């Protein structure tokens, strides 16, 4: 009888231990901005079960104007963040040891647009004008560009005045700024809807000018990379995310709807999200999440030249995750 009881107890213990052994690895992803198709790959990967297939339990946190992903991960609120490299490197130098583990976005979506009535047709026309710029880590590419042009940004003679603009095109419409910052996949679409376009705008595309700095990379805290289990989870996360990106870009209508469904605020509009998926498809390489070192070096140089970072970073990226795909 004793042997039977012992055997039964062993079976019970085995069954009780099974769920723990089979538990998926939990990861929290902090987005750089609100729920929108800028992050379609991650949203689609969650909705289509691609993270589940990789034995991951992923929580996606939306961002917003009052959310700094670098602060969230530093405080332990996320395992992985989406952010621009300039912000990530500035945070690293200030004591938040962020490391880039993957770079789905290969090209910048940043532009500056100036309505015809502003009288700006080239960079030579900037002096004396007010230029709208986002802050919270988004200002670094702009200041690097102005530094390249040799233009002061304090409103002094021969320089430009900087307006900390809202995340829309209202500063241009209301005449608060002569030029404003836009993303190809977001605010530029708003400008098109408002009746603006190439015929009545001067457009400065950061990528075409060679002033693009890397955007929307995936970053983790450096100390976590010493844990093989964590690196394995990151690798599976990137694999599933890229599957999500591939699916989103091949199925834009479904992807846009999934983004709308995921937005708990109800602010995401289907038509605009569909526009965003189409524009994002020009920036993301769904087949290659690896960091392009040439673009990385150009980003570092621009940040050093502007004084945004003081020293060439060491250990700011790793290929251990993308090498494992």
Does some domain include residue 14? no
Rg (CA), the chain: 23
CATH code: domain of residue 153: 3.40.190.10
* Predicted pLDDT at 1: 37
Does some domain include residue 10? no
| Neighbour-count burial of 34, counting CB atoms closer than 10 A to its CB (0-12 exposed, 13-18 middle, 19+ buried) | middle
* Predicted pLDDT at 66: 86
Does some domain include residue 226? yes
Does some domain include residue 141? yes
Residues 6 or more apart from 169 whose CB is under 8 A from it?
A: 180, 182, 187, 190, 191, 194, 196
User: For each of the chain's 325 residues, which pLDDT tens digit applies?
Assistant: 333 334 444 444 444 444 444 689 999 999 999 999 999 999 999 999 999 999 999 999 999 988 999 999 999 999 999 999 999 999 999 999 999 999 999 999 999 999 999 999 999 999 999 999 998 778 989 998 999 899 999 999 999 999 999 889 999 999 999 999 999 999 999 999 999 999 999 999 999 998 888 999 999 999 999 999 999 999 999 999 999 999 999 999 999 999 999 999 999 999 999 999 999 999 999 999 999 999 999 899 989 988 889 999 999 999 999 999 9
Round to whole Å and give the CA distance between 235 and 323: 9
Does some domain include residue 132? yes
Domain that holds residue 257: 20-106+214-323
Q: Where are the beta strands (DSSP E) in 192-239?
A: 201-205, 217-221
**Which residue, 205, 235, 265, sits at the end of a domain?**
205
Does some domain include residue 7? no
Round to whole Å and give the CA distance between 212 and 209: 8
* Predicted pLDDT at 22: 63
Domain total in the chain: 2
Q: What is the pTM of this model?
A: 0.89
Round to whole Å and give the CA distance between 244 and 227: 26
Do 188 and 244 sit in the same domain of this protein?
no
Round to whole Å and give the CA distance between 110 and 89: 19
Round to whole Å and give the CA distance between 78 and 65: 17
Do 298 and 163 sit in the same domain of this protein?
no
Do 222 and 240 sit in the same domain of this protein?
yes
**Which residue, 205, 226, 246, sits at the end of a domain?**
205
Do 239 and 192 sit in the same domain of this protein?
no
**Which residue, 177, 205, 233, sits at the end of a domain?**
205
Q: Structure tokens of 17? A: 């231990």
Residue 26 bridge partners (DSSP): 57
* Predicted pLDDT at 42: 98
* Predicted pLDDT at 211: 83
Do 255 and 182 sit in the same domain of this protein?
no
Does some domain include residue 40? yes
Give CA 247 to chain center in angstroms: 19
* Predicted pLDDT at 94: 95
Round to whole Å and give the CA distance between 153 and 175: 19
Does some domain include residue 140? yes
Do 290 and 160 sit in the same domain of this protein?
no
- Ramachandran angles phi, psi of 294, nearest 5°: -65, -45
């Amino acid at each position: 009888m004793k042997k039977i009881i012992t055997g039964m107890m062993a079976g019970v213990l085995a069954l009780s231990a099974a769920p723990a052994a089979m538990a998926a690895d939990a990861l929290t992803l902090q987005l750089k901005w609100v729920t929108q198709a800028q992050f379609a790959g991650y949203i689609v990967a969650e909705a289509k079960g691609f993270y589940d297939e990789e034995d991951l339990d992923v929580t996606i946190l939306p961002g917003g104007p009052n959310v700094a992903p670098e602060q969230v991960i530093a405080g332990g609120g996320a395992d992985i963040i989406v952010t621009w490299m300039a912000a990530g490197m500035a945070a690293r130098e200030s004591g938040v040891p962020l490391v880039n583990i993957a770079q789905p976005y290969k090209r910048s979506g940043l532009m500056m647009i100036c309505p015809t009535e502003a009288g700006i047709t080239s960079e030579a026309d900037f002096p004396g004008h007010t230029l709208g710029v986002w802050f919270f880590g988004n200002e670094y590419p702009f200041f690097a560009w102005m530094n390249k042009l040799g233009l002061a940004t304090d409103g002094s003679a021969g320089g430009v005045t900087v307006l900390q603009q809202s995340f829309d095109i209202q500063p241009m419409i209301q005449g608060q700024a002569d030029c404003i910052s836009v993303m190809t996949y977001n605010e530029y679409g708003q400008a098109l809807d408002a009746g603006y376009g190439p015929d009545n705008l001067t457009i400065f595309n950061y990528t075409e000018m060679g002033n693009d700095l890397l955007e929307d990379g995936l970053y983790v805290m450096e100390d976590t990379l010493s844990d093989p289990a964590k690196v394995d989870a990151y690798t599976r996360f990137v694999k599933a995310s890229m599957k999500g990106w591939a699916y989103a870009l091949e199925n834009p209508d479904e992807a846009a709807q999934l983004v709308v469904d995921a937005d708990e605020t109800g602010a995401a509009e289907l038509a605009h999200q569909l526009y965003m998926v189409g524009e994002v498809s020009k920036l993301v390489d769904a087949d290659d999440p690896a960091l392009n070192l040439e673009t990385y070096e150009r980003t570092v140089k621009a940040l050093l030249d502007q004084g945004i970072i003081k020293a060439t970073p060491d250990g700011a990226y790793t290929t251990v995750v993308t090498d494992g795909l």
